[in-house]
Amino acid sequence: MDATSPVGALLLCRTVPDAVRPVAHLLREPLLLAPAGQGWSVLVPEGEPWQGGRRARSGEGERAEPVDRVLGGWATALAVGSTWPVLALWWDGDRAGYTLASGFRRPVGYVWLADGTPAGEDEAMRTFAERLGLDPVLDVQSLEALTRPDPDTDARARLRGLLAVLTRTGLALPAGLGADPDEPPGAGAWDGAERVEWTGWRDAVKVDLGAVESSRLGPWVRGPRARALAGAQLAAGLPLALWGAARRSGGWAFAGVLLMAHGALGLAYDRVRGGEETD
């Protein structure tokens, strides 16, 4: 990819900003968080970690990690520690596409070349619709149209078409924000936007525990099911982190580390709060 090629990304979370904030802190990246319609939030990277912050090594030396790999890792990291799906939209000078992460399920994605040529599996769109609870007839028909050749539709038009389908679920991106390389995300401010920054593990844990305290997750916060979920997060995080490290993928390696952190935090919270209740 040419260094001058337009590169951008959005993370769409199907939940309110208050639920996204504690998890987004743990990405340890400067982000802008804002409401994006009914039951949606948007996260926009303020920097460009795929160009400068996260690098991988190849046989030719050090190179920047592609935007799709970084965003895929972030989406997975956000989703595995949550009960809501995360949709990463990304584009560069050669391609555009999405990655949908939902819990522990394998992420699903689709890619278009810059001229709009489909380069993904049709089944991905049906899985996408199912996991987001879209209409199995009308919405799937609209999504499948994005997988057919159309010489008059380029990659960014495909992403706009995808977003148009999601507006039926309540998605409404802030004014001036969209999947368009001509208008880089994060360049302006929007109503309700806030900056999410890494301030250290101590503050991150306080924020995460505060979110748990104010939530109404019932038996998932403490007890046998909470411990089982935390144990599953630890068990899944280790091989994911090792796999990402072996492939020299910073995004996936961090997803594994974050998953283990969520598991450890869950076990610690259950132990501390459970002990307080028995005193």
Q: For residue range 143-193, what is the model confidence (pLDDT) as tens digits?
A: 999 999 999 999 999 999 999 999 999 999 987 666 554 444 444 456 678
Boundary of a domain, candidates 152, 186, 220? 186
In this structure, the answer to whether residues 176 and 262 fall within a common structural domain is no
In this structure, the answer to whether residues 44 and 104 fall within a common structural domain is yes
The confidence score (pLDDT) of residue 174 equals 85
The confidence score (pLDDT) of residue 48 equals 63
In this structure, the answer to whether residues 82 and 181 fall within a common structural domain is yes
In this structure, the answer to whether residues 162 and 214 fall within a common structural domain is no
Q: Which tokens hold the place of 108? A: 């699903």
Domain tally for the chain?
Answer: 2
Q: Within a domain: residue 192?
A: no
Strands (E) located in 155-217: 194-196
In this structure, the answer to whether residues 169 and 247 fall within a common structural domain is no
In this structure, the answer to whether residues 162 and 26 fall within a common structural domain is yes
Measuring CA to CA, which residue among 93, 95, 69, 112 is closest to residue 3? Answer: 93
Cα gap 251→131, rounded to integer Å:
23
In this structure, the answer to whether residues 211 and 106 fall within a common structural domain is no
In this structure, the answer to whether residues 113 and 77 fall within a common structural domain is yes
The confidence score (pLDDT) of residue 40 equals 96
Task: Name the 3-class secondary structure at 176.
Answer: coil
What Cα–Cα distance (Å) separates residue 44 from each residue in 117, 173, 258?
26, 11, 19
Helix (H) or strand (E) holding 27: none
In this structure, the answer to whether residues 56 and 150 fall within a common structural domain is yes
Task: Tell me the whole-structure pTM to 2 decimals.
Answer: 0.73
Give me the domain span that covers residue 205: 201-278
* Residue 132 φ then ψ, to 5°: -95, 0
In this structure, the answer to whether residues 13 and 151 fall within a common structural domain is yes
Q: Within a domain: residue 191?
A: no
In this structure, the answer to whether residues 175 and 207 fall within a common structural domain is no
The confidence score (pLDDT) of residue 15 equals 94
Residues of the chain with pLDDT under 50: 1-4, 52-62, 181-188, 204, 211, 213-221, 275-276, 278-279
What Cα–Cα distance (Å) separates residue 211 from each residue in 92, 214, 247, 264?
35, 5, 34, 16
